[in-house]
Structure 1
Amino acid sequence: MSKVFVLDTEKKPLNPIHPGRARMLLSQGKAAVLRAHPFTIILKEAVFNPDVEPLRIKIDPGAQTSGLALVNDSTGEVVWIGELQHRGFQIRDALTSRRQLRRSRRNRKTRYRKPRFLNRTPNTGWLPPSLTSRVANILTWVKRLSALCQITAISQELVRFDTQQMENSEISGVGYQQGTLAGYEIREFLLSKWNRTCAYCGVKDTRLEIEHIQPRSKGGSNRVSNLCLACVPCNQKKGNQDIKDFLKGKPDLLKRILAQGKKPLADTAAVNATRWNLYENLKKTGLPVEVGTGGRTKYNRTIRGLDKTHYWDAACVGASTPERLITNGVKPLLIAAKGHGTRQQCRTDKFGFPVRYCSRTKFHKGFQTGDIVKANVTSGKKVGTYVGRVATRATGSFNISTTDGLVQGISHKYCIHIHKKDGYAYVA
């Protein structure tokens, strides 16, 4: 697993240590657990003149998931890695639903209202809440990790997808497309869009080729909405057949491919809109910020033989990546942004009408919704051990969201705290 963070008695960061050494310090009573995620211990004795090694935090920002890594530039050791799942699209959907409900209420009110548009100018650099949350999530973890270890530099992948070239590959002429990175953006986007699988047979971990859904000879274009990925056998078998003729015996597959091809570039737009905002906010930390391209990240990851994941991409961001990365035994901490609850005074149905009251009391029996707890149930129909985020009730009967699903009706008497609510869920 990743190394354990260590703080001294004044909560100043020391060098992260191996989990085995952390267990020894805990068993000898020389340290105590400060927090569970990421796992951090605090020493009970002072450390004078510690020799703390500097670390670099590396970030691979994405629309849905971002990668984080702590790397020692001098030794090449990957100290800690994490994968941060954003909730930007959930925020977007919630705002869309609220807007629709408000519009419905206004239609039910016949009182005339003067139009209110073009009278509220957004601030310079304003981003929608769904995009702001992505930037805020990354900045939150940069701040947290900076308090747990000695971070002296930041590396960020400043990726940019050219949506104009994706929509029309000939828009800027041949000169724009030629070069060592010609077509890179389209290939990387298609790999992400089609989940690195063949669109026709679903095979993975094989050579994939860019395939025209509607052949050029049958009127198809080079627009990204007409491109997919296909393995070599499927590409050769299809040839220049019309997609409807090739999949005439598989109507469900045909429908899915056509729908996936027209899928909007929402992820791409989110990355483009937030990349400079994130960069400017990282510079405000006062640390030197290095930026790298997606091509550099892919090159670094490929020559080091690492798998395609968000956290390994983060470890390979920028020209500062050591020639040899020590990754033995490092496991990622999976982080999912969950928010800090809601201020709704009542819950509503799908039409926006209130259905039940929400308690204004945050804490029940010493717990609050969002805490990570461990419940050892010793009697009743639900005997077992459950670990996950808790949803509290005033009655003391809680629900626990575990990795295997939701467990309802667990008494507070069986619950013990593992991690206080901080707006995130974790899988170690």
Structure 2
Amino acid sequence: MEFEQLSDERGPMPHDMLLTGQILGFERTPFGGGDPNDAARLSEAVLIRGGKIAALGRAADLRAEAPEAAQVDMGDALICAGFVDAHVHYPQTAMIASWGKRLRDWLETYTFPEELRFGDPAYAREIASRYFDLTLANGTTTCVSYCTIHPGSVTAFFEAAQARGVRAVAGKTCMDRNAPPDLCDTAQSGYDASKALIGAWHGVDRLSYAITPRFSPTSTRDQLAALGALWAEHPDCLMQTHLSEQTDEITWVKSLYPEARDYLDTYEAHGLLGARGLYGHAIHLEPRERDRLREVGAALVHCPTSNTFIGSGLFDMAARIAEGQRVGLATDTGGGSSFSMLRTMAAAYEIGQLTGTALHPAQLLWLATAGSAEALHMGGMIGNIAPGMEADLVALDLASTPAIAQRSARADDIWEALFPTIMMGDDRAVKQVWIAGRPA
């Protein structure tokens, strides 16, 4: 492919590109009314201009519309929006798949010692680079990450994202108790450092900031209040935290906040409940919590591989969707045991089976793309292939292994052809990734 010798800070922008294959774009959510089979449409080709989707349709028609466009034929690969991972911990990259602990023990044994290493900026840069290399290889084009207590860990993450051109969200984790002293800030220093990072990074290129209290047990009331005040000052930022991941965690929260009505109230009382809030896990919610989360339009982020790996519980996707919750999907690396959103979709399907609902392949793919994008309030930019959307795309080989190939060969429609890749696929299924129309 040829490139013009001008354009943005990352180098020359590509000419118009005409990409052919099985182009899948959602026309509506596959949840709720209607047949999930009809939620998306396949096109022969997509025209990309200036890093955005210009048109979809018949290949011959788009060739006539843009005869000078570089043509890229992906054969019978399925081309969909790049995956959107709504909850990750990039500092846990090197410690993924650590054996056998409950949440608190897991934090103390594995997570906190690893996060202490991020006081070294060189180590933070090394892991940030490794994280993006791993996730891009798995087709993930947008992620939302917790960093560590160190502002330099945020800088390393955003610099690595910026170098690759990806859309990314992150924030400095704030903790002022129940963590090692060298991983604790204060209410004031957490506020000050977060505010400075918002000024440095929020809205720069394709980067956004998320105000990030780790969770109520590691923040005092003063710190939660300070971060709530910061969010009120910067309401266009996202806010990310953890909620009701494990039952013993909920008991711990009740002991630390005896005045709170429930776990969610520890955030709500301090200005940390809102439409742009991302609440990771949210498995064991009480009725009042579900009602308030729905009322404000906050997002619950389902982390299926983490929930099973750490033994947290089963998130009831069908029930949460039916009651009107906004839901995203995430790997939760490194509590989650895979960098792959394909594996994450498979785990979501398996948990759905255990909670009584077999999620349709269209619903799984929607959760990993458009659904997560909507959870991030970015549904107008990423997560789908439609005119005006940013051209973050992934091409999936639906016959990437002999086992997958022999099953998909029997498929009668695109969803039956895709499902074996969801259930058995890995990075071998990812033929190509494009970031804003550029090959990654």
User: Is TM (by shorter chain) over 0.5?
Assistant: no
TM-score by length of 2: 0.29
TM-score by length of 1: 0.30
Q: Which has the higher helix share?
A: 2
Higher gyration radius (CA): 1
